[in-house]
């Protein structure tokens, strides 16, 4: 009888462990949420529409790409591995900025350099124009015509004087 008691105790312990393990096994630990997919999709752009992030685009292509992201997350891929996979298949336009560090630096610095050059050129032109106005006023003889009407009147007088 003692032997049956031990077996019964062992069976109860195993049953209790099994009862606790079944709900844990029933949970889908590999399920990926929409938030996890959208975290990656925010960093990518629609292949069909221009400049629309993948997470908000409603096209069928974007839905398919989000499904691909979900599948890759379930397979254990990291965020950077997923982005690299899409860039490898579809090019840098998927992420908007080049993945190569040198090209990325160039694409981020170039607009600032061009802007600085435009401001410097505009400042130089404005300064040159401003100084030119002062030089013209200094070179003009006293009593020189100031407006077009004065110039025209002087021209008429000079032409009549030559006749």
Mean pLDDT score, 128-149: 66
CATH architecture label of 2-99: Orthogonal Bundle (1.10)
Mean pLDDT score, 54-72: 89
pLDDT given at position 16: 58
Mean pLDDT score, 130-136: 70
Checking if the pLDDT of 128 tops 90, the result is no
pLDDT given at position 68: 92
C-beta separation of 74 from 30 below 8 A: yes
**DSSP 8-state code for residue 54:** T
Max intra-chain CA distance, the chain: 150
What is the per-residue pLDDT across 10-50, written as a single tens digit (0 to 9) for each?
666 556 555 555 444 444 556 888 888 988 988 888 878 88
pLDDT given at position 67: 92
What is the per-residue pLDDT across 5-19, written as a single tens digit (0 to 9) for each?
667 676 665 565 555
Give me the DSSP letters along 102-163. HHHHHHHHHHHHHHHHHHHHHHHHHHHHHHHHHHHHHHSPTT---SHHHHHHHHHHHHHHH-
Q: Is the pTM of this model over 0.85?
A: no
CA of residue 140 relative to chain centroid, distance = 56
pLDDT given at position 113: 94
Say how far apart CA 62 and CA 143 lie, in whole Å.
75
**DSSP 8-state code for residue 94:** G
Say how far apart CA 139 and CA 13 lie, in whole Å.
110
The pLDDT > 70 percentage for the chain reads 72
pLDDT given at position 15: 62
């Amino acid at each position: 009888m003692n032997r049956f008691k031990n077996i019964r105790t062992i069976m109860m312990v195993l049953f209790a462990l099994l009862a606790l393990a079944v709900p844990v096994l029933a949970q889908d630990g590999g399920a990926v949420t929409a938030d996890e997919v959208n975290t990656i999709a925010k960093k990518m752009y629609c292949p069909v529409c221009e400049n629309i992030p993948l997470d908000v685009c409603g096209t069928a292509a974007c839905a398919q790409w989000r499904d691909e992201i979900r599948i890759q997350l379930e397979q254990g891929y990291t965020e950077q591995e997923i982005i690299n996979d899409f860039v490898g298949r579809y090019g840098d336009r998927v992420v908007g900025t080049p993945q190569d560090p040198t090209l990325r630096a160039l694409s981020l610095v170039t607009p600032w350099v061009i802007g600085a050059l435009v401001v410097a050129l505009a400042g130089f032109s404005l300064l040159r124009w401003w100084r030119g106005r002062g030089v013209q006023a200094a070179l003009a003889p006293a009593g020189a015509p100031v407006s077009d009407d004065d110039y025209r009147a002087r021209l008429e007088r000079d032409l009549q004087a030559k006749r």
